[in-house]
A and B are shown apart, each in its own frame.
Chain A
Amino acid sequence: QKEVEQNSGPLSVPEGAIASLNCTYSDRGSQSFFWYRQYSGKSPELIMSIYSNGDKEDGRFTAQLNKASQYVSLLIRDSQPSDSATYLCAVYNAGGTSYGKLTFGQGTILTVHP
């Protein structure tokens, strides 16, 4: 069973702090990794994608990938109350018989308090 696990949360940080969200995955053949943000009652919104080991920065967001450790993380700098949401880690393995299936973690609830 290919699993994606996220740190359980909920995670509460003060406004302006760095929020750190973690995700591990079991399928060593996974090639593409995504972070989605989901506000309550809404759909997942893609905020970051990463495919190679290392860091990828986009504004206040940095995704980090370590394929050897099967670990991907998301850092949110200068956290704002509007960042309060559930963050979903999703993993894709393009090899074998997979044609597009994203496997999601259970999500980490982030609350940024003023």
Chain B
Amino acid sequence: EPEVTQTPSHQVTQMGQEVILRCVPISNHLYFYWYRQILGQKVEFLVSFYNNEISEKSEIFDDQFSVERPDGSNFTLKIRSTKLEDSAMYFCASSITSGYNEQFFGPGTRLTVL
């Protein structure tokens, strides 16, 4: 069964450093998303991406964040200058459509900012 994959599973970085989190969505899906979950808190939407453009972004997704689909399979989230409060699980998700919008999540990347 096709699934979303993410790398790395765990990333440790120093405050102020740049990190890139990688995702490979399900191959026939057209819509891609990033969410994050701070330990013990809700899953929060960051950004949606379709047709090589950001469709929607949340207040969390400020100028320090960017997304890119560098090739036909990968979807990346870049955090330019990490802060302590960026420590969280980051989940990539994908869906075939935005209508009924069944989103399938990857296993996540645990980001720890020291």
Within the complex, the shortest CB–CB distance from B51 to chain A, in Å, comes to 11
Q: Which residues of B contact A36 (CB under 8 A)?
A: 105
**CB-nearest residue of chain A to B6:** A43
Q: How far is the CA of A102 from the CA of B36 in the complex (A)?
A: 12
**Which positions 78-114 of chain A face chain B at CB distance < 8 Å?**
88, 90, 92, 94, 97-107
- Whether A99 contacts B55 in the complex (CB less than 8 A), given A43-B91, A45-B105, A49-B102, comes out as yes
Interface residues on B, range: 20 to 34
> B91 and A44: CB pair below 8 A?
yes
Contact between chains at A46 and B48 (CB < 8 Å)? no
Inter-chain contact A100/B56, CB cutoff 8 Å: yes
A71 at the interface (CB under 8 A from B): no
Q: A88–B56 Cα gap in the complex (Å)?
A: 22
Contact of B42 with A106 in the complex, beta carbons under 8 Å:
yes
Query: Given that A44-B43, A100-B56, A102-B45 are known contacts, is A94 also in contact with B103, CB under 8 Å in the complex?
Result: no
> If A51-B100, A94-B98 touch, does A43 touch B42 (CB 8 Å cutoff)?
no
- Is B73 interfacial (CB-CB < 8 Å)? no
Q: In the docked arrangement, what's the CA distance between A108 and B45, Å?
A: 19
- B58 part of interface (Cβ distance < 8 Å): yes
Would A102 and B101 count as touching, CB distance under 8 A? yes
Q: A60 near B: Cβ within 8 Å?
A: no
Known: A44-B43, A94-B99. A101 touches B48 (CB 8 A): yes
Q: Are B103 and A100 in contact (CB under 8 A)?
A: yes
Bound complex: CA A100 to CA B48 (Å): 6
Interchain CA distance A51-B97 in the complex, whole Å: 15
Pick from B35, B48, B89: contact of A99, CB below 8 A: B48
- Most A CB contacts (10 A, CB to CB) among B31, B35, B101, B104 go to B101
